[in-house]
């Protein structure tokens, strides 16, 4: 939780869940002096920021732009990208809400972004920082590799399709494991899918060198494409190969509902939702949030966007999973964020993502100093952009559509895949890897044969294994 001096401990899954209750009296309104803001203690400031973010989301969802503007200004006075955990989170949610408003004026939005530079090398570097700082991807790699090794036991021709071929370390480790097989290594072919050719070139170089050193017959195929535009035929799966598919934090990008509206704001303009003033009796953030939503902060049905959780679903996801099923993989291992950021309304998405990203920011607070350049880059260029996608975007532009593990169970089952419980050894490797981290906040739990990686008691990522059900 956050202390008065701004420090952070790891006694809970999220700093949002432990703020004491703060009464917001009418004297603290928008028109009053701002001196009281400077006198707030860390926990009081954190709770007030939550109030403001929820109120602002209500204003934005209802089209009350004047109130939204006032609330954004208040948040800006309290938030800071270099402050404590709650101040940093609020900075990025504040930016996302403002971005959502700007998108309602496409000309203005495009003009403000017309000179923005997107440096591919910086994006790649930040993702490598995420890999190094957090244990999540390392655990996913270890569990994925173990599931593939077990599924490919005795196979002489193995083909692995990596739907996000960004990090060669995973497959270097697999090459080393395969070289130690009692029956000898198989002929291995890896097909890497990535939208940036330079990333695939680097992976091909590293893996080819490793395979030559280990004397393993090896071939690396490149497919330069986004997942959305991937032509499955280009994967060139051959008869006689044992196929494995690895997807790490990719499938959720296909969940946009085909008929979902694009506009981030409703057409109507109302006075919006006033900032809650009454004394709140709930003792946790979760209870407070439920109370606020029940009392009218949730946007009405006519302001809600379509959701891919509705009965019609996403034909893009359905057709993609059907295509993968048609390849008859022996195993498909999927890693996804384990949180519901694909809900119907803005307020639902904002409240759930506040919990999720508070836990991630708390991980960083427990790992790196606040002035760390690596921390600031990961927060701004990776986590901040994900928050912006969840909060500011609609339609096909909203790519970060994370869902809970149970939803993936339903989706894979419908597509003809059956769950393969991960082995005891895979679970053991995951736990040992987390134990190697000096921070005690990371935990592993087993859920329906899958690995769920947590920060304290907050589930953050899941790893599950599947095979075709004929």
51 and 128 in a single domain? The answer is no
The band of 20, judged by pLDDT with boundaries at 50, 70 and 90, is very low
Is 49 a domain residue? yes
* pLDDT higher than threshold 80 for residue 442: yes
Q: Looking at per-residue confidence, does 194 or 24 come out higher?
A: 194
* pLDDT higher than threshold 50 for residue 203: yes
Q: Which domain holds residue 71?
A: 39-107
Is 154 a domain residue? yes
Q: Looking at per-residue confidence, does 265 or 248 come out higher?
A: 248
73 and 159 in a single domain? The answer is no
Q: Looking at per-residue confidence, does 465 or 38 come out higher?
A: 465
Return the pLDDT at 419: 97
User: For the residues 289-295, what does the mean pLDDT come to?
Assistant: 44
412 in Cβ contact with 419 (< 8 Å): yes
Query: What is the DSSP track for 301-369?
Result: GGGPPP-TTSTT--HHHHHHHHHHHHT--SEEEEEEE-S----SSHHHHHHHHHHHHHHHHHHHHHHS-
**Can you give the pTM of this predicted structure?**
0.83
pLDDT in tens, 350-401: 999 999 999 999 999 999 999 999 999 999 999 999 999 999 999 889 999 9
- Average confidence score pLDDT of the chain: 84
CA 379/CA 390 separation, integer angstroms:
15
Return the pLDDT at 41: 84
Return the pLDDT at 439: 80
* pLDDT higher than threshold 50 for residue 159: yes
167 and 103 in a single domain? The answer is no
Question: How far apart, in Å, are the Cα atoms of 85 and each of 42, 79, 145, 255?
Answer: 10, 10, 34, 30
pLDDT in tens, 46-58: 999 999 999 999 9
**Among 80, 107, 134, which residue terminates a domain?**
107
- Written as six digits, the tokens of 111 are 């003009």
Return the pLDDT at 266: 56
62 in Cβ contact with 299 (< 8 Å): yes
**Among 48, 74, 107, which residue terminates a domain?**
107
Q: Which of 147-156, 270-279, 352-361, 383-392 has the lowest mean pLDDT?
A: 270-279
1 in Cβ contact with 11 (< 8 Å): yes
User: For the residues 186-197, what does the mean pLDDT come to?
Assistant: 96
∠ CA 46-49-55, nearest 5°, is: 150
Q: Which of 20-24, 95-99, 184-188, 242-246 has the lowest mean pLDDT?
A: 20-24
Is 353 a domain residue? no
73 and 189 in a single domain? The answer is no
Contacts of 386 (CB under 8 A, 6+ apart): 357, 400
136 and 230 in a single domain? The answer is yes
Share of the chain above pLDDT 90, in %: 70
Is 437 a domain residue? yes
* pLDDT higher than threshold 60 for residue 28: no
Return the pLDDT at 426: 96
Q: Per mean pLDDT, which of 100-104, 147-151, 304-308, 431-435 is the most reliable?
A: 147-151
* pLDDT higher than threshold 60 for residue 93: yes
332 and 240 in a single domain? The answer is yes
* pLDDT higher than threshold 60 for residue 22: no
**Among 85, 107, 129, which residue terminates a domain?**
107
CA 218/CA 187 separation, integer angstroms:
6
* pLDDT higher than threshold 60 for residue 453: yes
Is 369 a domain residue? no
Is 161 a domain residue? yes
| β-sheet bridge partners, residue 463 | 335, 451
Return the pLDDT at 35: 67
Return the pLDDT at 117: 76
Q: Looking at per-residue confidence, does 129 or 309 come out higher?
A: 129
Is 222 a domain residue? yes
CA 161/CA 171 separation, integer angstroms:
11
195 and 326 in a single domain? The answer is yes
Q: What is the CATH number of the domain that holds 248?
A: 3.40.50.150
The band of 308, judged by pLDDT with boundaries at 50, 70 and 90, is very low
163 and 48 in a single domain? The answer is no
464 and 427 in a single domain? The answer is yes
411 and 447 in a single domain? The answer is yes
329 and 188 in a single domain? The answer is yes
Is 394 a domain residue? no
Return the pLDDT at 23: 35
182 and 329 in a single domain? The answer is yes
When divided into structural domains, the chain yields a total of 2
**Cβ atoms within 10 A of the Cβ of 440, count?**
11
SS3 214: helix
Q: Residue 327 class from Cβ within 10 Å (0-12 exposed, 13-18 middle, 19+ buried)? A: middle
Return the pLDDT at 355: 94
Return the pLDDT at 294: 44
Share of the chain above pLDDT 70, in %: 80
∠ CA 131-329-398, nearest 5°, is: 50
């Amino acid at each position: 939780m956050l202390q008065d001096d701004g420090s952070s401990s790891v006694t809970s899954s999220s700093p949002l869940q432990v703020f004491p209750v703060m009464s917001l009296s009418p004297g603290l309104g928008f028109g009053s002096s701002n001196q009281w803001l400077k006198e707030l203690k860390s926990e009081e400031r954190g709770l007030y920021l939550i109030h403001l973010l929820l109120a602002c989301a209500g204003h934005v969802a209802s089209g009350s732009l004047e109130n939204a503007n006032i609330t954004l200004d208040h948040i800006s006075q309290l938030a800071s990208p270099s402050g404590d955990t709650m101040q940093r989170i609020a900075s990025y949610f504040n930016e996302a809400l403002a971005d959502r408003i700007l998108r309602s004026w496409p000309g203005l939005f495009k003009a403000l972004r017309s000179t923005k530079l997107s440096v591919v090398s910086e994006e790649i570097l930040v993702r490598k920082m995420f890999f190094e700082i957090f244990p999540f991807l390392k655990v996913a790699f270890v569990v994925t590799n173990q599931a593939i090794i077990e599924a490919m036991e005795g196979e002489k021709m193995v083909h692995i399709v990596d739907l996000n071929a960004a990090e060669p370390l995973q497959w270097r480790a697999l090459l080393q494991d395969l070289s130690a097989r009692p029956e000898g290594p198989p002929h291995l072919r890896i097909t890497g899918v990535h939208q940036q050719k330079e990333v695939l070139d680097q992976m091909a170089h590293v893996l080819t060198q490793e395979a030559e050193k280990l004397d393993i017959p090896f071939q690396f195929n490149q497919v330069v494409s986004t997942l959305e535009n991937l032509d499955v035929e280009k994967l060139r799966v051959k008869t006689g190969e044992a196929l494995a598919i690895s997807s790490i934090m990719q499938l959720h990008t296909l969940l946009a509902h085909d008929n979902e509206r694009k506009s981030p704001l409703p057409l109507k303009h109302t006075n919006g939702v006033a900032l809650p003033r009454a004394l709140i009796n709930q003792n946790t953030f979760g209870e407070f949030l439920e109370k606020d939503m029940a009392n009218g902060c949730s946007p009405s049905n006519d302001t809600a966007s379509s959701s891919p959780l509705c009965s019609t679903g996403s034909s893009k996801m359905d057709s993609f999973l059907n295509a993968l099923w048609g390849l008859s993989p022996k195993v498909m291992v999927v890693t996804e964020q384990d949180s519901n950021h694909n809900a119907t309304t803005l307020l639902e998405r904002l409240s759930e993502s506040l919990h999720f990203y508070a836990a991630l920011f708390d991980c960083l607070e427990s790992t790196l100093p606040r002035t760390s350049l690596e921390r600031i880059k990961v927060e701004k260029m990776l986590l901040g952009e994900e928050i912006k996608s969840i909060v500011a975007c609609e339609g096909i532009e909203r790519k970060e559509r994370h869902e809970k593990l149970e939803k993936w169970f339903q989706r894979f089952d419908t597509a003809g895949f059956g769950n393969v419980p991960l082995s005891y050894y895979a679970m053991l490797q995951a736990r040992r890897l987390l134990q190697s981290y000096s921070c005690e906040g990371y935990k592993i739990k087993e859920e329906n044969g899958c690995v769920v990686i947590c920060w304290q008691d907050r589930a953050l990522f899941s790893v599950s294994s599947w095979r075709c059900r004929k």
